[in-house]
């Protein structure tokens, strides 16, 4: 069989961004793909100007892990390529050992001192990824599979130069060049769906459709564009529809149905509430459209809830555990973030604010017990009514703090009201900003 001219293809498709001198770190597993890439990159140095190094991640999972590291060390030593071997601890997090190993590996890659990190996934890997994502019901982002180029960190780019090359071409090349590589025994374990696909299903597909890899790559490229367009549109819609972390329903309902779904999906992700399935997005969207105007529909996600209140959707990470807390007078000068209360307390000088001596004597932030009242000009009003009148949604009312003075008297409801008996013309007005997840407003 003719040896594929992989070097020529690599040079032909060399990214334009890599024209000047740069530093490149190869993620070297010791397997066929990355060993071939090492060889190709060494030769490419005759055509392009870059400094090459390699990194091997020792996951400590296989009994052969030491042998793989040793193999990489020997390969790099023989070729005078600097290599760092990084041992990682793989801690599975509910999504399996494979995913945890990948996370640990990418963390190591992100710590690279090179400008560009390169991985050796090839066309077969890409085709398998597209199929696996489709079988999992993935959307455009998932089916876009692996990009040839992307930012890994603000300072490091990730490059996959072999995505257009088949595995059998890599093997023919490696054999012809006399390269030696190690086989990861987990690649034949049929318990992994990827291996089942690779060994049982894809040979059948290839017999009927020999160019299936190229077609799946075309699908991935088109979906990568579609996903990028969705991202652009979602950014515009988020900028338009989100105020103070809350999604404005009037803005949402102006959009077409698919844009509404995209916006809801992005907004919950950005608000730190976790990702949502397409079914749950649609179910909540329908609920929003059909619920009575005074109803308060909720959407439960993996890391919190969404509440509808007065024309807005409110994200609720919901893990506040407010405890009575002493506040020193230093709070007057610097706003304090109170994680247990999930909010920020600040004071600003204002007529009708709290008298300074009350603050100097010491104030406590106290959770509501129920039944509290605040002294107004006329009579004492229930705190619950004050919060309702201020438009605070029910889920925040329960965890809204009270300010209590040294004598145990409730002197303020931050951001809402200061007791008449505690006010002064040159007082300090307490402000309370509940944390509603990361701020994603336009401005
Ligand atoms: N232990 C390792 N140390 C360094 N690089 C590695 C290691 N394992 C894999 N890589 C790099 O990652 C590429 C992909 O490897 P592999 O296909 O095993 O991982 P994957 O988990 O399927 O891929 P991905 O991490 O992109 O989803 C390899 O070609 C190699 O460049």
Nearest atom within ligand 1 for CA of residue 33: 29
- C-beta atoms surrounding 372 within 10 Å: 16
CA distances from 258 to 144, 232, 253, 281, 289 (A): 19, 14, 11, 11, 14
Kindly report the average pLDDT of the chain as a whole number.
91
- Quickly list DSSP for 108-138: HHHT--SSEEE----HHHHHHHHHHHHHTT-
Cα 29 to middle of ligand 1, angstroms: 7
Residues 6+ apart with CB under 8 A from 211: none
Residue ranges covered by each domain of the chain? 6-190, 244-316, 325-434
For ligand 1, atom 22, which residue shows the shortest CA distance?
125
Cα 330 to middle of ligand 1, angstroms: 52
Architecture of domain 6-190: 3-Layer(aba) Sandwich (3.40)
The tens-digit pLDDT sequence of the chain (443 residues) is 566 799 999 999 999 999 889 999 999 999 999 999 999 999 999 999 999 999 999 998 888 899 999 999 999 999 999 999 999 999 887 778 888 999 999 999 999 999 999 999 999 999 999 999 999 999 999 999 999 999 999 999 999 999 999 999 999 999 999 999 998 877 777 777 888 899 999 999 999 999 999 999 999 999 999 999 999 999 999 999 999 899 999 999 999 999 999 999 999 999 999 889 999 999 999 999 888 877 878 899 988 899 999 899 999 987 667 888 888 777 777 888 888 888 899 999 999 999 988 888 888 999 988 888 998 888 899 999 999 999 898 888 888 999 998 888 899 999 999 999 999 999 999 999 888 765 444 33
Model ipTM value: 0.94
- The reply to whether 32 sits in an annotated binding site is yes
- Quickly list DSSP for 215-232: HHHHHHHHHHHHHHHHHH
Answer CATH for 244-316 from 1.10.599.10, 1.20.59.20, 1.10.730.10, 1.10.287.3510: 1.20.59.20
Q: Write the pLDDT tens digit of every residue in 322-362.
A: 888 888 777 777 888 888 888 899 999 999 999 988 888 88
Residues 6+ apart with CB under 8 A from 176: 3
316 lines ligand 1 (CB under 6 A): no
Q: Write the pLDDT tens digit of every residue in 191-213.
A: 778 888 999 999 999 999 999 99
Q: Write the pLDDT tens digit of every residue in 51-99.
A: 999 999 999 888 889 999 999 999 999 999 999 999 999 988 777 888 8
- Quickly list DSSP for 334-381: S-EEETTTTEEEEEEEETTEE-HHHHHT-EEEE---S--EEE-SSSEE
Cα 128 to middle of ligand 1, angstroms: 14
Residues 6+ apart with CB under 8 A from 291: 297, 308
> Which tokens belong to 7?
């070097």
Q: What span, in angstroms and rounded, lies between the C-alpha atoms of 57 and 60?
A: 9
For ligand 1, atom 21, which residue shows the shortest CA distance?
102
419 lines ligand 1 (CB under 6 A): no
Q: What span, in angstroms and rounded, lies between the C-alpha atoms of 412 and 416?
A: 8
> Which tokens belong to 292?
């009575």
Contact 61, 97 (CB under 8 A): yes
């Amino acid at each position: 069989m003719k040896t594929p001219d992989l070097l020529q293809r690599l040079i032909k498709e060399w990214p334009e961004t890599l024209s000047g001198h740069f530093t490149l770190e190869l993620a070297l597993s010791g397997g066929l793909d990355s060993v071939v890439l090492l060889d190709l990159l060494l030769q490419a140095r005759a055509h392009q100007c870059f400094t090459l190094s390699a990194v091997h991640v020792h996951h400590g999972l296989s009994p052969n892990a030491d042998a793989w590291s040793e193999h990489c060390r020997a390969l790099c030593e023989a070729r005078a390529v600097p290599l760092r071997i990084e041992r990682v601890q793989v801690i599975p997090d509910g999504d399996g050992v494979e995913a945890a190993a990948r996370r640990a590996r990418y963390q190591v890659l992100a710590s690279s001192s090179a400008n560009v990190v390169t991985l050796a996934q090839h066309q077969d890997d890409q085709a398998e990824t597209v199929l696996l994502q489709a079988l999992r019901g993935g959307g455009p982002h998932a089916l876009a599979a692996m990009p040839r180029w992307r930012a890994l960190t603000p300072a490091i780019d990730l490059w996959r130069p072999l995505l257009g090359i088949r595995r059998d071409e890599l093997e023919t090349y490696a054999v012809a060049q006399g390269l030696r590589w190690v086989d990861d025994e987990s690649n034949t374990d049929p318990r992994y769906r990827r291996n089942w696909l690779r060994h049982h299903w894809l040979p059948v597909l290839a017999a009927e459709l020999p160019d299936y890899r190229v077609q799946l790559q075309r699908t991935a490229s088109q979906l990568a564009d579609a996903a990028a367009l969705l991202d652009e549109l979602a950014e515009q819609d988020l900028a338009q529809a989100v105020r103070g972390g809350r999604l404005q329903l009037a803005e949402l309902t102006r959009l077409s149905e698919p844009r509404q779904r995209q916006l809801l999906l992005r907004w919950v992700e950005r608000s730190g509430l976790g990702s949502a399935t397409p079914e749950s997005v649609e179910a909540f969207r329908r609920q929003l459209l059909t619920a009575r105007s005074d109803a308060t529909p909720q959407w439960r996600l993996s890391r919190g809830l969404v509440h509808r209140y007065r024309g807005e959707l409110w994200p609720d990470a919901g893990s506040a555990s407010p405890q009575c807390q002493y506040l020193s007078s230093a709070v007057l000068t610097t706003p304090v973030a109170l994680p247990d209360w999930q909010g920020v307390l600040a004071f600003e000088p204002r007529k009708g604010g709290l008298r300074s001596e009350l603050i100097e004597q010491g104030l406590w932030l106290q959770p509501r017990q129920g039944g509290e009242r605040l002294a107004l000009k006329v009579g004492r009003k229930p705190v619950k009514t004050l919060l309702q009148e201020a438009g605070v949604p029910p889920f925040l009312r329960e965890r809204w703090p009270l300010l209590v003075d040294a004598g145990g008297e409730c002197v303020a409801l931050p951001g809402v009201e200061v007791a008449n008996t505690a006010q002064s013309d040159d007082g300090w007005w307490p402000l309370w900003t509940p944390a509603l997840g990361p701020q994603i407003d336009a401005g």
